[in-house]
Amino acid sequence: MATAGNESYFPAWTLKTDGVIAPDERLPWPQTFALGVQHVVAMFGATVLAPLLMGFDPNVAILMSGVGTLLFFVLVGGRVPSYLGSSFAFIGVVISATGYAGAGANANIGVALGGIAACGAIYAVIGFVVMGVGTRWIETLMPPVVTGAVVAVIGLNLAPIAVKGATATTFDAVMALITILSVGGVAVFTRGTMQRLLILVGLALAYAIYALLANGMGFGKPIAFGGVAAAAWLGLPNFSAPVFTAEGMSLITPVAVILVAENLGHIKAVSAMTGRDLDRYMGRAFAGDGLATMLAGSMGGTGVTTYAENIGVMAVTRIYSTLVFVVAAAIAIVLGFSPKFGALIQTIPTPVLGGISIVVFGLIAAAGARIWVDNKVDFSQNRNLIVVAVTLVLGAGDFTLKFGGFTLGGIGTATFGAILLYALLRGKTGS
């Protein structure tokens, strides 16, 4: 992993106390620590929510997000500021592969972990290829019309699961709507840090309302805090081992396409913000993310990806020092070894999670549309229109293909279908 020119593998991190802080600069250590805490808060809501929606242990997920971030930091030589948190792209395929019912621990977590580890391996291989030949082939194979459609499919495929989890009883449905309004209110009527943490703040608000209505007024199942009181402050999380099955891997490995698209966009965004050309680290970033996902899958964690929430924090603070993410990763690792933290997370009521799921899965679908808008995808071209139309229906309808013992679920067929359809129709660009 040689670096360009005569530069050292890691930067020297020059001390700077004000103004824009570049990736190879640093603030004084007390301020660096404070910024690390802010980045932990930024990633916290989504990184903890994802494992709950899949029946994973949130302690393991947040622990592996910290370990994965440190691994990424080493692979990119401390030159790309990014945090690796739980990827929502895995939720739909994990639920399909394991048959998870949406409450409690996932009894088939091993099958999911095998698929996640295999997905990470494919992603890492893509990274090593990019290190050798660059990213042009990815941009050719997966233009914005394809990546936007695939991202949108992730959200649409999950829609029935989110609604089912939020409507078991009338009270649950009401609480889900209150949760949606809480998140929406934070998103629209607040500013600054609170607005950037809309999922976390909205969830906390809905949690408080649920406690008032259920524990205080008896309208629903009360929140039980006995487990929190009994849990130790420090202890090992519940690690799990992967189980490699053809069906599980076939369902989950297509997510590598999404991770590539996410990381590609995130690094380009960070390049624009910092004024640094980070494209030469793209392959190493892919490999780092892929290896971190492999490691997470081998231990019981969720697959990981670079986080837009943390990129948003950098955009506002204009502090891009990569050492901030080392601090954030260390804090996440400490939280991962706290059973009391995990027990508190497990008290989040099912209808509140259901309401949050509706918002989050909808935001994933909308993120696909945003890719089209940001890249000015021309829907007057029939090729683009057909690719998007077919992809959305294949994914939302969970179109499944079976070849003997091999099964490819809706997200997988939609992903590969979008890539192949675009390639087949490539010669026809007119309307």
> Three-state SS across 29-67?
HHHHHHHHHHHHHHHHHHHHHHHHHHCCCHHHHHHHHHH
Residues 9/77, Cβ–Cβ less than 8 Å: yes
pLDDT in tens, 355-388: 877 887 787 788 788 888 888 899 999 999 999 9
Q: Give the C-alpha separation, 9 to 12, whole Å.
A: 10
Quote the pLDDT of residue 431.
47
| Residue type, position 45, single letter | G
Calculate mean pLDDT across residues 412-426: 85
Residues 331/341, Cβ–Cβ less than 8 Å: no
Quote the pLDDT of residue 385.
93
Calculate mean pLDDT across residues 191-202: 73
pTM: 0.76
Picking from 162, 189, 215, 203, the residue whose alpha carbon sits closest to that of residue 46 is 203
Residue 56: burial class (beta carbons within 10 Å; 0-12, 13-18, 19+): buried
Distances (CA, A) of 357 to 91, 147, 159, 162, 360: 11, 22, 9, 5, 5
Quote the pLDDT of residue 160.
77
pLDDT in tens, 244-296: 998 889 888 888 887 887 788 778 778 877 888 888 899 999 999 999 999 99
Tell me what the pLDDT averaged over the chain comes to: 85
Break the chain down into helix, strand, coil percent, rounded to 5: 70, 5, 30
In this predicted structure, the answer to whether residue 405 has a pLDDT above a threshold of 60 is no
Quote the pLDDT of residue 56.
92
- pLDDT above 70 as % of the chain: 94
